[in-house]
Amino acid sequence: MKSIKDLLIWYNNLDVVPFIKAIKAQRELFKRFDLDMFADGVSLPGLSEKVMYQTCFNNLQYPDKKPANAFQFPAKRMGGYKSQDAKAKRKFGMTLEHLNTLLQK
């Protein structure tokens, strides 16, 4: 090194050369997924999200389409509601059959 300029060029290349190698490695990684690192994503998490959506749905299994069991309203709970309404002097005009019909809908 003959001057400060040579020293600065050498020092700058200590950062730049490994960075360029890392960028090339990243580009090769995302090329396997048909993504251009500089055009398809703003950040590495954005590119990784695109890779995830390309690959995660291949082995997806949909749940069985069987109807769920109907919920039966517990008679004990209805008795509690009746006693609460009796204490508050409110009318309780529902029956257990009516509540079960509402739950079927």
For residue range 37-69, list pLDDT tens digits in order.
Answer: 888 888 889 998 998 888 887 777 777 888 777
Q: What is the DSSP string of 47-84?
A: HHHHHHHHHTTTT--PPP--PPPPPPPPHHHHHHHHHH
Is residue 28 predicted with pLDDT exceeding 90? Answer: yes
105 confidence band (pLDDT: 50, 70, 90): low
Residue 86 has pLDDT above 70, yes or no: yes
* pLDDT, mean of residues 64-89: 82
With a cut of 70, say whether residue 80 has pLDDT above it: yes
Instruction: Return the structure tokens found at 21.
Output: 């190698």
